[in-house]
Amino acid sequence: MITYGVMELAPGAFHLKQHLSLPQQRAVVESCRALIDGAVPGYVPVVRGGGKMHVRMLCLGRHWNGTTYRYEEARSDYDQLPVPPLPTGLRELARNIAAAAEMKLDPDLCILNYYGADGRMGLHQDKDESAESLAAGVPVVSISLGDTARFLFGGLRRRDPVQPVLLESGDAFVFGGPARLRYHGVSRIVPATAPPELGLDGRFNLTFRQY
């Protein structure tokens, strides 16, 4: 039985509204801040073709290289620093969220993104994990904190219609199985919608994956 409060948007795609309590959100926000301003800091990736992304990114566990679209141990597209480990507590949290949607994830990497007021992310597929992981439909678990995002959830082809979903602070989103390769993106952030208790301007999003 799927936990109460879990909405299935499409086969394999689940929106878990208000899944994290405010104290949980506060704790994860504190981790995100410490990580993104830590010894190996977040940065704005420049992707293939030379465009800058509209988020500040930090990879944990494995580094996603924005020019090769491959994972690696050190940030060869930026400063050569080794990728920080994925903290155990975050890993456990993501595993439990997947289980709440009746899916199995043992994440070994997470991409942490910070969106300012003008943050956004174009429509894309998450398809740089191993062929085995993608073929098995091992889910991506996403956690949203701070300002609300207008998330777009599409189909398996770029031209398929997209469904707008408001991802609010404390929401989780899980997409695996037949939904694993659906296109998705963030069209905009709704400024000043973060719970005041978080003291956060903007939005953190964490996406956990299993390579």
Told to check if 126 binds Mn ion by CB under 5 A, we report yes
Query: How near is the Cβ of 162 to ligand SIN at its closest, in Å?
Result: 13
Residue pointed to by tokens 């300002």: 147
Residues that contact ligand SIN, how many (by CB under 6 A)? 11
Q: 100 or 152, CB closer to ligand SIN?
A: 152
For residues 71 and 44, what is the distance between their CA atoms, to the nearest angstrom? 17
Query: How near is the Cβ of 152 to Mn ion at its closest, in Å?
Result: 11
CA atoms within 13 A on the CB side of 132: 2
Residues between 172 and 201 with contacts to Mn ion, criterion CB under 5 A? none
Q: 26 or 125, CB closer to Mn ion?
A: 125
Part in contact with Mn ion (CB under 5 A); list of ranges 94-102, 118-126, 127-135, 187-195:
118-126
Told to check if 210 binds ligand SIN by CB under 6 A, we report no
Residue pointed to by tokens 């899944």: 19
Part in contact with Mn ion (CB under 5 A); list of ranges 9-17, 24-32, 58-66, 126-134:
126-134
Which one of residues 148, 169, 205, 210 is an interface residue with ligand SIN (CB under 6 A)? Answer: 205
Backbone angles phi and psi of 74, in degrees to 5: -130, 160
Residues 6+ positions from 180 with CB-CB distance below 8 Å: 12, 126, 134, 137, 138, 139, 140
Q: Are 8 and 14 in contact (CB under 8 A)?
A: yes
Q: 152 or 194, CB closer to Mn ion?
A: 152
CA-to-CA separations, 112 to 2, 5, 118, 137, in angstroms, rounded: 27, 25, 17, 21
Told to check if 121 binds ligand SIN by CB under 6 A, we report yes
Which one of residues 151, 175, 183, 208 is an interface residue with ligand SIN (CB under 6 A)? Answer: 151
Told to check if 142 binds ligand SIN by CB under 6 A, we report yes
In DSSP notation, 122-162 reads: EEE----S-HHHHHHTPPEEEEEEESEEEEEE--SSTTS--
Q: 96 or 127, CB closer to ligand SIN?
A: 127
Told to check if 56 binds ligand SIN by CB under 6 A, we report no
Question: Which residues make up the interface to Mn ion (CB under 5 A)?
Answer: 126
